[in-house]
Amino acid sequence: EVQLVESGGGLVQAGESLRLSCAFSGFPFDDYAIGWFRQAPGKVREGISCISSTDNSTKYRDSVKGRFTISTDNAKNTVYLQMNSLNPEDTAVYYCAGGVACTLNTGTFGAWGQGTQVTVSS
């Protein structure tokens, strides 16, 4: 069973940084992808970034390019999302998810963590 646990959320001021962590386990195959998604109140869940286990290729949502960086520590089975220059529009619950391909589409991912709250004050 694939399991994912997020951590690292919190309350920060605009312009500050946070690093989210996603500890994962249980993938039955070596080829998988980890994605980061977020959902703000009253809005649909949207894809932020993803990374592929095969070649560490990445994708980013346009609104976070240049501010967010996804990375992986294979020894720790952990994927990180470094978030810089945060602004109030980044406020949301952030989820990591496991799937078979690196896309920003929620439908590609079948296993989800419980989420971690990120709040950015102005």
pLDDT in tens, the chain (122 residues): 999 999 999 999 999 999 999 999 998 888 899 999 999 999 999 999 999 999 999 999 999 999 999 999 989 999 999 999 999 999 999 999 999 999 999 999 999 999 999 999 99
Distances (CA, A) of 12 to 1, 6, 39, 61, 119: 34, 17, 18, 21, 6
CA atoms within 13 A on the CB side of 77: 12
Residue 62 is predicted with a pLDDT of: 97
Q: Tell me the CA end-to-end span of the chain in Å, nearest whole number.
A: 40
Residue 28 is predicted with a pLDDT of: 82
Coil vs helix vs strand at 108: helix
Residue 30 is predicted with a pLDDT of: 83
Residue whose C-alpha is closest to residue 116's, from 44, 40, 20, 43:
20
